[in-house]
């Protein structure tokens, strides 16, 4: 299970949809120059299993994981 910053409750309500969210890691993908990269993004998610359900919230260090994944992928594409 993904780390729970600030000891948030077990569930939270999505400010966008009003659906319940749970803390966990979701497998996400992005593309850079035609290459697809996958990574596990910690955060609050309405669904951890449905790749098309992107309703969720990133808090605290969650944003660093997303940025690190993109920087690493960009370096790989550049051959660094």
Task: State pLDDT tens for residues 15-74.
Answer: 999 999 999 999 999 999 999 999 999 999 999 999 899 999 998 889 999 999 999 999
Q: Where are the domains of the chain?
A: 5-78
Query: Could you give phi then psi for residue 71, rounded to 5 degrees?
Result: -65, -40
Alpha-carbon torsion, ordered 48, 39, 66, 20, to 10 deg: 0
Distances (CA, A) of 13 to 19, 38, 54, 73: 6, 26, 14, 32
At the topology level, CATH places domain 5-78 in: Ubiquitin-like (UB roll) (3.10.20)
pLDDT(4) > 70: no
Q: Is the pTM of this model over 0.85?
A: no
Eight-state DSSP code of residue 54: -
pLDDT(2) > 60: no
Confidence of residue 3 (pLDDT cuts 50, 70, 90): low
Q: What is the pLDDT of residue 38?
A: 95
């Amino acid at each position: 299970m993904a780390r729970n910053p600030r000891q948030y409750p077990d569930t939270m309500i999505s400010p966008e949809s009003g659906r319940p969210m749970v803390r966990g890691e979701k497998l996400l993908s992005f593309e850079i120059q035609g290459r697809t990269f996958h990574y596990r993004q910690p955060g609050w998610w309405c669904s951890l299993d449905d790749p098309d359900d992107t309703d969720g919230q990133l808090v605290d260090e969650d944003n660093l994981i997303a940025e690190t994944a993109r920087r690493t992928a960009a370096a790989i594409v550049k051959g660094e």
